[in-house]
Amino acid sequence: MGRIILANRVHVFLSVDEEWSIRKLVPLFDPSNNQDLAIKAWNAYAYGGKWNERILGSLFSKLIMILPFTKNMNKDTEHSIYQLSASILFYSTEFREQLLGHFFTNGDSHQFTSLTNVISPVLEQLEESASGKAWKDWLHKYVKHRLDNIPIESSDAELAAIVTWLPALEPVIEEFVNLLITGRAVKLDNSHVIYTIGKKDLGKKYPMALLLYFEYLLKENGVEFYTDEIFEVMMQILESLQSKHELFPKVCEYLLRSNGARTMDLLEQYTRKF
């Protein structure tokens, strides 16, 4: 128990006495020494443990070693470890590429789905400039690899999470959509992403990109559970369109299945405008 308490504060001990900490504490995080103890050590540290590049220099190799064992952990510990991993991807300059290298070489479906799920809330909290930078630095590469099923086929749950990133990637929304539609469409569990798109008026700002997004999305999704939200966004798109676009009536064809009257009204307004 005493060693686990020390593991919780390993970042403090590394700052105070790095040599002693590397000898006595860092091995606690190594599953090749003792898997059960390593899981407990990561459990203790991942809950709020602070890191910087110097601390990662001591712990990073152990983080890579513990990832294959996360599926055997309790959900809270697992979540914390993937939160740490996502934090490294967003904020570390020294270890980002090494962590990506692990996932693109040895990542399994569980690891990718877990990581993708914790990336979502981080993206939602970023300023636009920061999300654009993340896209340029690594996120574009991450999405492309997963759409290309590198190194393994992406799961439906993982792709569904990626699909919902659109509102948080406004600075690169056209690039994101153009990349997204190269992959397979998946079913969503709820309408939250459509609601957020409407709330942020993205249909007005990016009508062409949203038409592509909806055409891709509706291939696999019925619209019954987000009818109101999607019609509101389609009205935003219609207001912003400067000329006819072949995808507008095509998307409306999908909408006919859920609300024929509203769809015909939408098409009538489209015809009157153009």
Return the minimum-mean-pLDDT range out of 54-58, 179-183, 237-241. Answer: 54-58
Q: What's the domain count of the chain? A: 1
Residue 253 in domain = yes
User: What gap in Å lies between CA 227 and CA 68, rounded to an integer?
Assistant: 41
Is 190's pLDDT higher than 90?
no
Instruction: Decide if 232 is inside a domain.
Output: yes
Q: How large is the average pLDDT for residues 158-187?
A: 96
Q: Is the pLDDT of residue 42 over 60?
A: yes
Domain-located, residue 158: no
Answer whether residue 254 is part of any domain: yes
Instruction: Please report whether residue 193 resides in a domain.
Output: yes
pTM confidence score: 0.92
For residue 227, pLDDT beyond 90: no
- Range(s) of the domain holding residue 273: 187-274
Nearest Cα residue to 198 out of 163, 237, 242 = 237
What's the confidence (pLDDT) of residue 2?
67
Residue 153 within a domain: no
Q: Does 120 fall in a domain? A: no
**Residue 251 counted as domain residue:** yes
- How many residues in total does the chain contain? 274
pLDDT reading at 234 higher than 60: yes
